[in-house]
Structure 1
Amino acid sequence: MDEREHTMPEDTTEQAKNQEHEDIMNMEDSLAYAPMEDVHPGDIVEGKVVHISNDGVLVDVGAKSEGIIHLQDLSHRRIERPEDVVKLGDVISVYVLGYEGEEGVLKLSKKRADEQEAWKKLEEAQESGQILHAPVVEIVKGGLVVDVGLRGFIPASHIARGYVSDMTPYLGQVVPLKVVELDRNKRRAILSRKIAMEIEENAKKEQLWQTIQEGQVRHGVVKSLTDFGAFIDLGGVDGLLHISEMSWGRINHPSEVLEVGQEIDVKVLRLDPEKNKISLGLRQVLPNPWEGVEEKYRVGQLYQGVVVRLAGFGAFVELEPGVDGLVHISQLAPERIHQPSDVVTVGDRIWVKILSVDAANKRISLSKRQADEDIANGALSSHDHIEEDGGSTTIGEHLNAYHAGNWDDEKEP
C-alpha cells in the first residue's frame, strides 16, 4: 500500500482537531446541567432555560428535544408571567411529569421539583428541631400562608403569644418558623411562629446570661416606660433602669429623658440570675457634672440658680444639670423665718453665694441672704453667673439642672 494513502492533508487534520475540541466542549456544557441522556416520568433533573413565552418556558434537559414548563407548573405562588420566576440561561431543577401531544413533548414542572426539595427540608427540620425562616405571602381565613418552597400554613393561634386581631402587618415579613405537623399525602405543612419565637428568645437569654457581667456597658433598646423607670431590651432579656439611675439630676418621669424605641448604652449595676433580674444605670455612662465642680464654683462668688425643692431645713437650688446646692433656712433671709416657703417657692430663680463646696460628697452650701446683701452693695462682677431668657449674658452662662445630691438625710444644725 502506498504510504501516501495514510497521509491526511494538513488542513483536514486541523479541522478534525477543532471538531473534536468543540464536541468535548458541548459535552461538558451538557453535563453541567443534565448528566443523563434519557429522562423518565418521576425523575428530577437539571436543565437550562432556553426560551421564555407568555405561557411558559422551554428547558433543555439533555434529551432529544426541549421540555416545556407551563405557567401553572413554574411556582406554587400565584405569578403573572414566567419572568417572575426564571430568566434565560438559568439552570433549574425540574420534575419530569411525562409527555403530551402527538409529538410527545416532554412535560416538566419546576413547582413539583421545588416541592420535593421543600418536603425534604421540612422533614429534616421537624426531626432536628431547626428553626426555619420564610416570608408571609398571603392572608387566609384562620391564619397565614408562608413560602417554604411550598405553601405552608400558620394557624392564627400560632402567630403570636396573644390573640392577633389584625394579621395584615405580617404580610411580606420574613418570620421564624417551627414545624408542627407534616403530611405529604394531604399536602399539609403546619408551622408555628409563636413556638419558633419562644425557642429563639430562650436561646438569646441563655447566651446573654453566659456573657453578661456587672460593670459592663451594654447596648439596648427602650422597651417600655413606667413611673419608676424603664425596661431596656438587652437582646433577649429585659433589664430595669430605675428612674434614680437615669440622670445625674432629679427627674419627675422617665419620659423626660427617654422614649420607647430609643437605643442607648447602659451600665450593668447588679445581676440576679435566680430571679432573672438585671439592674441598669444610664447616668454612669454620662459625663459626671460633679467632676471639676470645685474649680467651676468658687467660694465667695455669686451665681443664679433655680429653686427645685423645699425641705423643712432649707431650699435646694440647681446650678447646672446634675449640680444642686443647699440654701439652709438660716441663709434664706436676714430675719428669722418659720419655713423656706415664707421666702421662696419651687421654680423661683434666685441669686446665691457659694459658702462651701464638697465635690466628693456632692454637697454645695449656698446663701441667698449673703447674695442679696452683696448685690445691694453692688458686688456683682464678671465672675458671677446669670441666665436670662434667650441666652447667657456677658456676666455668666446658662445654668439649669435637676437635683443630683442625696440630701434626704440632711440635718438642721
Structure 2
Amino acid sequence: MFGYEPEGWRLEQAENRAALRTPAALAQAARAGQILESRAILCDSEHNLVVNLGCMQGIIPREEGAMGIREGTVRDIALLSRVNRPVCFYITGFSEENGHTTALLSRRAAQEACWRDYLSKLIPGDVLDARITHLEPFGAFVDIGCGIVALMPIDAISVSRIEHPRQRFTTGMDIRAVVRSIEGRRITLSQRELLGTWEENAAHFHSGETVGGIVRSIEPYGIFVELTPNLAGLAECRESVTTGQQASVYIKSILPARMKVKLVIIDTFDLKSKPEPPHYYFTGDHMDHFLYSPPESSKIIETVFTKEEN
C-alpha cells in the first residue's frame, strides 16, 4: 500500500508519534518527506484547518485541505467534516510569529501522492484495505487511502439484500473491498465477492438444525431470512413477522442444484444489534473472477473483473 492507509490508521503508530514528539523530529519528518497524521481541532472562518501536533500547532490552508478544493470540484464540507478527526499531511514548512512556531501542512499533497503512487495503479479485481467514513441509503462511502473516498453501492455489499448499509457497517469500521470499476478518478468498490460462495456459506448449515437469522424481506410467496450476509433461505408466510426481526428458523432442506435453503420460522423477536465485522473467505490481493453459484446449479451468478482504462 506504500504507506497510504485510510486516515486514522497511522495516528497511534510508533513512527508517527515519534515524529510529533519534538520540533526537531517534525523538521526531520519534513526533510524525509514523511506523511504524518494528527487530529484537526478547528476549522477557522476561512476554512483553514488547525491541527494539534502535540509539540506545536499546524495549519492546513484551505486550498491544501483536499484534492479538488482548489479546482472547485470538492465542496468545503470536506474540510469542515474533518474537525475532531485524524488528517494526514506532509509538512511543507514552518512559520515564526511572535515567538511561536507553526507548521505549514498539506493534506492535498499527501492525497496526490497516494493517487499517483497507489490508487492510480489499481485495476478491477484488486483487493484493498479500507475504512467506512459515512453511510447513505444508496451505499457506503469508504476511505481507500489518505482520506480519498470511494463508493460501495448497496447492491455490492452482500448477496443477501439489505435496506440500508447500516445493517452491515458502522462508521469507522475497517473492511476489505474489491475494486469493481474505475472511471477516471472515480473508484467503485464491492464486498460481496469476498464473503464466500453459496457453497462455502451453506457448508455451515445442515438439514434438521434450528439456527438464528434475520428477516430481510417479506414477499407474497414467502419470507427471506438471512443466515449469513451471502446466504438467505425462504420460509413460508407467517403473520406478525416484520423485516429486521431476529428469527429462529428450522432448516427443512438445503438444495445446491436449485441454490435454495428451505426454512420454517419457529419464532421471531425484536433485538437491535450492532453489525459484526465482516468475515472474509477470500484473503488474496487480487481476483479475476468470482463464481457464487455451486457446480450443480444451472443458474450462474458470477462476477468477472475486466481491466479498464483509467
Larger % of strand: which? Answer: 2
TM-score by length of 2: 0.48
Q: Which has the higher contact order (CA 8 A, sep 6+)?
A: 2
Q: Which has the higher Rg, Structure 1 or Structure 2?
A: 1
